Amino acid sequence: MKVLVTGASGFVGSAFLARAAIENRFSLRAALRSDVQVLPPSVVPVFVEGLSATADWREGVKECDAVVHTAARVHVMHDTSYDPLTEFRRVNVEGSLKLARQAVESGVKRFIYISSIKVNGEETVLGKPFTADDPPAAVDPYGISKREAEEGLKQLATDTGMEVVIIRPPLVYGPGVKANFLSMMRWLNKGVPLPLGAINNQRSLVAMDNLVDLIVTCIDNPAAANQTFLAGDGEDLSTSQLLRRMAAAMGKPARLLPVPAWMLEAGASLLGRRAVALRLCGSLQVDITKAHRLLNWIPPVSVDEALRKTARHFLEAQFR
């Protein structure tokens, strides 16, 4: 089976390629914008101008059986675009649908779209996780663009017969993780006291190894056709638990101060950082039962094992 991977230089795309190349189950092509990226020897590079309505994907999708589409304009905390929604739509909606249409024309049988839990919404009531079949409730421009791309791909599947599989991950972590997760590891590594010792929320995460395993499962499992799945580790953690277990994985003490969540939320609101408080104190849980029921998929890596792998990569990088 020949598979094209977009976003091959990104966090998810590169991890998928590394795993798939080792297993040697698929003939792999990687869509790249330049030749800077180092690929596994068995992976064939295909150069494209980027994800847009004008990109030409014909060479990339030629004779392919499946596309794993990880490329996207990603969510950023402080977007400086004049019109963020328009920019997200230009890449994530128009670019993705251009790729999918050319995939159809080339006879691609299955299109796997890596979406986002933000399509479901920003938070859940404690103990009531999102499910794959909940009505979408995207709020921010990134989530809206991902929802619209999903809708366009589903319509294309209906019109053409190409199978579309949608995977919505929550926060993805693993070796090389950036953004807030990296900041958390830096705080713990420095022993910075954090006012996060009394947060009793519940949040779902997904280790990169688990997300990649689900993607691999969806490439050729007949039951995945035209389905939407939520990805997760199968164990939810409070912010306080995550910090303590990450610290243990790093061999560091977790210096957590038991500041009440309501006090943190009030202070963050006064400082104009309510969104930060939401992520730290609010709950966001996902139900992965559908993937288990239809695909017999169980996350192969435990949270603690994944945290240790992430910590080891982070600590090794400090001495390079």
Buried b (16+ CB within 10 A) or exposed e, 189-227: beeeebbbbbbebbbbbbbbbbbbbbbbbbbebeebeeb
Q: Please report where in the chains the tokens 């779209």 appear, as a residue.
A: 113
Show the CA angle centred on residue 280, arms to residues 274 and 285, nearest 5°: 115
Q: Please report where in the chains the tokens 């807030």 appear, as a residue.
A: 180
d(CA 177, CA 26): 26
Rounded to the nearest 10 degrees, how much is the dihedral formed by the CA atoms of 183, 188, 192, 195? 80
* Among 82, 113, 142, 173, the one annotated catalytic: 142
Partnered with residue 6 across adjacent β-strands are 69
Q: Which amino acid, 175?
A: P
Look up 82 and say whether it is catalytic.
no
d(CA 8, CA 30): 6
Using an 8 Å Cβ cutoff, are 215 and 112 in contact? yes
Look at residue 293 and give its three-state secondary structure: helix
Single out the residue of 198, 207, 186 nearest to residue 19, CA to CA: 207
Active site residues: 142
